[in-house]
Amino acid sequence: MRTRTLGQGFDVSALSLGAMGYGKSREIDDREQMIGLLRAAVERGMDFFDTAESYGPWTNEVMVGEAFSGMRDRVKIATKFGWDIDQSTGEHRGGVNSRPSQIRQALEGSLRRLGTDYIDLFYQHRVDPEVPMEDVAGTVKELIAEGKVRHFGLSEAGAGSIRRAHAVQPVTALQSEYSLWTREPETEIIPTLEELGIGLVPFSPLGKGFLTGTIDASSTFAANDFRGSIPRFAGEARDANLALVELIRQIGARHDATPAQVALSWLLARKPWIVPLFGTRTLSRFEENVGALEVTLSDDDLARIDSADITIQGARYPDHQLRRVGL
């Protein structure tokens, strides 16, 4: 598999697999299948994987640690701190918490659950407005000096927070939502990353499934599917947004590529330091997504996307979740 370089010389596979859906807030009946998928991804050349203490909490990291037991030297693991999780019970108390003592306790828990003595990339999951970013970055800097962390990352942080953190401890990567239907980072975030030499790991590169072409005007969501609460998946907004899917379907037809492959190829074409992070629970979807590395969009394709008269309708999160983004 091809590789890319994020900030601070961190070389990783050009695509990354997110494990969030495996055991998040529940035990899933295909856990062994998911472990098999993670291992199969390594055998196919992927080495960059994403988890977090809050996924479960904790069950996800345990599963990832089990999946990579005996192959730690072949993988690069990103995990996250920053939510207010009771480090004794695992209770997710709902808010954010990036106090230095909490960061250290979260790290020790993650190391134990993942069965490792270091984390390759340690992200702050969300900015904590009650803790100065300098204190957060300073704590991670200490952990790097102690050899327990190799790289520092931020998630969904605004440009000001990125600059403040980077001034204390160079940031390797920002993880934020960026895709054909979420292009807001192009205004301020991407120029900031380019200036500072920080990589971007876009999550939801397939628009939470919308850009795969599998959702249409008749689609419904189960009660426990969070997409049912997202404005751009609802009613008239969803119907209008299908125009984007039709566009990438047409472009894909020129390359014998699926809509998902076009969406990922578009991200790969934006900057050489962008490493899209996707999630899947099936090997067939994994192989489809990795096939995006063989799709090269032409300048005409890229210009057609940029000039399309399509405005995405609906917010990407409900209002209460958006309040935590871009601080």
What lies within 8 Å, CB to CB, of 39 at 6+ separation is 67, 68, 71
**C-alpha distances in angstroms, 291 versus 65, 224, 284?**
27, 30, 11
Q: Which has the closest alpha carbon to 320: 229, 206, 227?
A: 229
Q: Which residues are catalytic?
A: 55
Measured between its terminal Cα atoms, the distance across the chain in Å is 35
| CA 216 to chain CA mean position, Å | 24
Mark 181-210 as b/e (b = at least 16 C-beta within 10 Å). Answer: bbeebeeebbebbeebebbbbbbbbbbbbb
Longest dimension (CA), the chain: 55
In the numeric block, which tokens belong to residue 277? 């992070």
Angle made by CA atoms 146, 78, 297, in degrees to the nearest 5: 135
What lies within 8 Å, CB to CB, of 287 at 6+ separation is 44
In the numeric block, which tokens belong to residue 36? 């098999």
In the numeric block, which tokens belong to residue 202? 């876009």
Mark 67-86 as b/e (b = at least 16 C-beta within 10 Å). Answer: bbeeebeebbbbbbbbbbbe
DSSP secondary structure of 113-162: HHT-S-EEEEEESS--TTS-HHHHHHHHHHHHHTTSEEEEEEES--HHHH
Interaxial angle between packed helices 235-255 and 299-307, expressed in degrees from 0 to 180 and rounded to the nearest 10: 160
